[in-house]
Amino acid sequence: MSVTSTTASKVLDVLVRITGTDEVRRNLDLPLFDTGLLDSLGVAELIIGLSDTLGIEIAPSEVERDLWSTPRQIIAYAEERIKA
């Protein structure tokens, strides 16, 4: 995966805004929950942010936290959704 892809960079922009750190760009395997960068309300905000930015509807009921725990996983989810 290249972070130069448009989707990836949009996802990372949203993540930087919500977590308040650029580290999410530097380390795509950063564990977002374990580091305290994301919590339940942060995930909700991320879902809204990604839905708006990418123009796709993401239902929280489809979001398994274990599959959304690093920037790389979230980018993969978004790219998959956009392809579909």
Partner 1 sequence: MDGLELIERIDRWGTLAPTAIAHESDGRAITYQELKTHSDALAGCLLDELPDDRSPVMVLGHKEPELVVAYLACIKAGHPYIPLDTALPAQRLEIIRASSGARLTLSPQGVHERITLHASARPSETPHEGATQMENGSFERVAYKPEDPFYVIYTSGSTGTPKGVVISLGNLNSFLDWMLVEHPLVEQDEVFLGIVPFSFDVSIMDLYLCLYAGGTHRSLTRDEIGDPARLHRALARSGATAWISTPSFARLCLVERGFGAGTIPNLRRIVLAGEVLSHELASELLDRFPGVPLWNAYGPTEATVLSTSVQLDRELLGRYPDVPIGFPRPGGSVLVMDENGQPVAEGERGELVIVGPHVSPGYLNRPDLTSQAFFTLGNQRAYHTGDWGRALGGLLFFEGRHDDLIKLHGYRIELGDVEAHLKALPGVQDAVVLPTWRDGQPERLVAFIILSERPVRDDFQATLNLRRHLSERLPGYMLPQLYRFVDTFPLTVNGKADRKKLAEMLT
Q: Which residues bind partner 1 (CB under 8 A)?
A: 19-23, 26, 33, 35-37, 39-44, 47-48, 57, 59-66
Helix, strand, coil shares of the chain, percent, nearest 5, are 65, 0, 35
Q: How far apart are CA 22 and CA 40, in angstroms?
A: 20
Nearer to partner 1, 22 or 80 (CB): 22
As measured in angstroms, the least distance from the Cβ of 25 to partner 1 is 11
As measured in angstroms, the least distance from the Cβ of 21 to partner 1 is 6
As measured in angstroms, the least distance from the Cβ of 33 to partner 1 is 8
- Return the sign of the alpha-carbon dihedral for residues 72, 23, 34, 49: negative
